[in-house]
Structure 1
Amino acid sequence: MSAGDLHPAIRFVRRRLQRGVPYGLAFTVAFAAVALAVWGFVNVLDAVTEGDDVARFDAVAHGLIYDALGGSPGLGLTVTWFGNNATLIGFVIVVALALVIAKRYWAAFRVVFASGVGGLVITGLKLLFARQRPEAQVIEATGYSFPSGHAFASTVFYGMMVYLVWRLTERRWARVVAAVVGPLVAILVGLSRVYLNVHFLTDVLAGWLAGSAWLVASLLLVDVVETRYRSRRERTEEIGRPDDADPQPHGTGAAT
C-alpha cells in the first residue's frame, strides 16, 4: 500500500513522527513538552488555590533552604543577580549583537523574541493571579508573587543558551557544559528567591514550568516563521532563475 492510499489521519500521524521533515518528529516532541509543562503549571496553580496544605509546604521549603544556605543574604543576592531584569536584558543585548555580527540572524531573533515577548507573558500571568508575596522578606521586592519572574526569565534565557549551543556547535564539551550550567543557573536563581523569602517555592515551580513552556513554544513559533520564509524565498529564487542557470546548492542562504 502506497502512502497515498492511507487514510488522511494516518498520513498526518506518520508525518508527525518522521525525522528531518518540517513539522515532523522534532516538532511533535517539542509540542508534547509544551503541553507537559502547561499541565504541570496548571497543577501547581490548582494546589496554590487550595490554601492551607500549600502554605505549610511553602513554609517548610523556605525553612529548609534558608537553613541549608546559612543566615547571610550575600550568597542569595549573588545568585539572584543572574536572574535580575537588568542583568538578563544586558545578556540578551550582548548575545544578540554577537549573533548578528556572526550573521546568525535567526538565532539572534530567537533570543530577542523569547526573552522580549516572555517579559510580556510573565507580566500578564502575575497580573492575572495577583498573589501577594511572603512577609518578612530578606530583601524588599515589589509586585505580585505568582509565578516567579526570576525563575521564568532565567529558564527562558539560559534555556535558550543551551539550545543555541547545541544547534550552533558540534563540540561535545561545549554541549555538555551548556547542558549542565544552563539548567543549574536557572534552578539556583529560583531557589535564591525562596531563600530571600521574596517568593514561595510554589511561585518558583510555576515560574520554571511557565518559562519552559514559553521557551519551547517560542522556538516552535520562530521555526514555523523561518521555515515559511525560507520556502517562500526559495520559490522566488526558483521563479527568477534563468532556465539555463545552474541550480544553487541546497542549504545556501541566510545563516540560522
Structure 2
Amino acid sequence: MTSHLRRLLAEVVLFITEFAIVLAVGVLGVAGFLAISREVFDQDAATFDADAFRWTQRLFGAEQQQWVEAITFFASRNFIVAAALIVILYFLVLRKHRWYTLMVPVVALGGITLNIALKGIYQRPRPLLPLTSASGLSFPSGHAMISACFYGLLIYLVYNHVRRHKVWRWVLIGALALLILLIGITRVYLRVHYATDVMAGILAGISWLLIAIPLLRRLEGVIKKRYRNDPQLAEKQAL
C-alpha cells in the first residue's frame, strides 16, 4: 500500500468517525429535546416546573434579585455581542487564526437562528408574574441556549489553547460550565422561563455546538488542503 493510499484511507476513516460522532450527538440531542418538549406540552412537567420555581427562590432568597440579574446579564444580547467581538479580534489580530474568527459568529448566529425557529414552532408563553421584564416566547430559553453555545465554544477554545497551565485550563473550564448552569438557574428564579425551557435550551445549544464545531473543522481542513495543493490560491491568500 502506497503512502498516498494510506493517507487517503486515514482521511476516510477520520471522516467516517467524525460523521458518526456528529450523527450520534445530533440524534441524542434531538431525542432529548423532543422528550422534554413532549413532557411540556402534555402538561406532565407542570409539577416539576413549579417545584423548580420554589427551589430557586429558596436558593437565592428574596433579597438577591440584583445579583441574579447581574448573572443573567452575561447571556444578554449586548454582552454576548461585545464578548464575541473581543474573541474574534483576539484570534484575528493576536493569534492569527482566521478560522476561529469564523467559528465564533457561525456558532453564535446559528444558535440564535435555531432558537428563534424553535420558539416559533413551539409557541410556549412565558410564566406568569415575572420578576423582571422579558418579551417573546418561552420555549426553549434563549439565554440558556446562547450561553451554552457561546460559553461552550469558549470551553472548546480554552481546552485547545491553554495547554501549558493545566490547572488554569480546568479552572477556566469549570468556571465557564458553572456560568452556563447559573445563567439557566437565574432565568427560572426571575420567572421569565420554566425550568424545562432552560433544560431544553442548554440541550439544544450544546447539540448545535457539537455539530457545528466538527463541521467547521472539516471545512477548514478541506480548504487548507486545497490551498496547499494550489500555489496560486496560496499566493492570493498571502496577499
What TM-score, normalized by structure 1, do the two folds share? Answer: 0.81
Q: 1:117, CA displacement in angstroms? A: 2.1
Letter in 2 for 1:129: Y
Q: Name the SS of the counterpart of 1:114 in structure 2.
A: helix
Per-residue CA deviations over 1:191-223 (Å, capped at 9, x if unaligned) read 000000000000000000000111111112211
Give the equivalent residue in structure 2 for 1:36. Answer: 28
Is the aligned partner of 1:77 residue 2:102? no
Point out 4+ residue stretches in structure 1 off by more than 2 angstroms: 24-35, 237-240
Aligned to 1:86: 78
More displaced, 198-207 or 215-224?
215-224
Kindly state the Cα deviation for residue 76 of structure 1 after the two structures are TM-superposed: 1.3
How far does residue 27 in structure 1 lie from its aligned partner after superposition?
Answer: 5.0
**Contact (CA 8 Å) 1:35, 1:213: kept in 2 or not?**
no
Cα distance, 1:24 vs structure 2: 5.1
Report the counterpart of residue 190 of structure 2 in structure 1: 196
Q: What is the DSSP-based 3-state SS (H/G/I as helix, E as strand, rest coil) of the residue aligned with 2:230?
A: helix
Q: How many angstroms does 1:37 deviate by? A: 1.9
Q: Which amino acid aligns with 1:203?
A: D
Assess, with a 3 A threshold, how the Cα gap between structure 1 residues 49 and 15 changes in structure 2: closer, same or farther.
farther
8 Å CA contact 2:123, 2:138 repeated in 1: yes
The structure with the greater share of residues assigned to helix is 2
Confirm whether residue 100 of structure 1 aligns to residue 100 of structure 2: no
- Work out the CA distance in 1 between the residues paired with 2:87 and 2:119: 27
RMSD, matched Cα: 2.4
Counterpart residue identity of residue 70, structure 2: T
Q: In the aligned structure 2, how far is the partner of 1:76 from the partner of 1:129?
A: 27
C-alpha distance in structure 2 between counterparts of 1:181 and 1:119, whole Å: 23
Question: Matches of 1:198 and 1:134 in 2, distance apart?
Answer: 6
The match for 2:170 is 176
Is the Cα contact below 8 Å between 1:162 and 1:175 reproduced in 2?
no
Provide TM-score, normalisation by structure 2: 0.87
Matches within 5 A, 1:207-246: 207-237=201-231
Say whether residues 1:56 and 2:47 are aligned partners: yes
Distance in 1 (CA, whole Å) between partners of 2:69 and 2:105 is 26
Contact 2:155 2:173 in 1 (8 A): yes
Q: What does the per-residue CA deviation read over 1:116-165, in whole Å, with 9 as the maximum and x for residues that have no partner?
A: 22211111111111100000101111100000000000000100001011
Q: Distance in 1 between matches of 2:233 and 2:102?
A: 28
Amino acid of the residue matched to residue 169 of structure 1?
V
Letter in 2 for 1:33: V
Distance 1:119 1:46 in 2: 22
**Aligned partners of 2:34, 2:218: CA distance in 1, in Å?**
26
Equivalences, count = 227
In 1, are the aligned partners of 2:52 and 2:195 still within 8 Å (CA)? yes
